[in-house]
Amino acid sequence: MARVRIARPRHVIGWLAVLGVLAWFTQTQLAGSVDQSFAGWVSDLHGARDGRVDSLMLTLSEIIRPIYVAPVTLVAAALLWFRFRAWALLLPASFGSSIAVTYAMKWFLDRDRPGEEFSLVNLHDAAFPSAHVAAVTSSGMAAMQLAIPVLRRTARKLLDLAIIALIGAVALSRVWVGAHWLTDVIGGLIAGVIGLAVALLVLRRWPRARRYALP
């Protein structure tokens, strides 16, 4: 499977390095300026279409929470077990790995959330990186991997586009509601990629998964 083979230890190390550099960058004045400018531009759009956009973003941000994504990946793995066997665990393994990376970085950096002037929600935990974005990115990309042997090319492309659109929408919603800075959601994207790569590496080395190679 071509996409599986891109996961190598050096790739994980490389993406961890990128996340580390981004974490450092978030502490600079330039990052603060970029984040403040983008958050200000988004907050100026609050109330668009009589508040319907705000409601949509708040709903999306609430629905795609890691605490809800976690059981979905477990149920999906159970349903897909007879088709993919151990590879069905790619979904929860990718999610779990990305969340572990995310909360380790949150604990280490302890970055403040955007202020009340940008926010439609009231949160007080660490901001960087976005767990929402990490969860949907890792799980969505894992689903894209598993779709390769079961969907035709056109259907796979449509699924890929739908997942990419969902990731983008969740990322935008987190900035829109003022839960995260722009660099936080970029960090979430990277954490999601790391989670997928780690899960792929582990499964490729697990004997039970190696019996069922994905094409």
Q: What is the DSSP string of 104-118?
A: HHHHHH-PPPP-TTT
Q: Locate 54 and state its tokens.
A: 């705000």
For 164-184, the pLDDT digits (tens) are 999 999 999 999 999 999 999
Cα 171 vs. chain centroid, distance in angstroms?
8
What is the Cα–Cα distance from 20 to 4, expressed in whole angstroms? Answer: 24
What is the Cα–Cα distance from 92 to 163, expressed in whole angstroms? Answer: 17
Residue 128 has pLDDT above 60, yes or no: yes
What is the Cα–Cα distance from 104 to 97, expressed in whole angstroms? Answer: 11
Q: Stretch 26-42: mean pLDDT, rounded?
A: 94
Q: Stretch 49-77: mean pLDDT, rounded?
A: 91
Mean pLDDT for the chain? 88
Confidence of residue 215 (pLDDT cuts 50, 70, 90): very low
> pTM, whole model, 2 decimals?
0.89
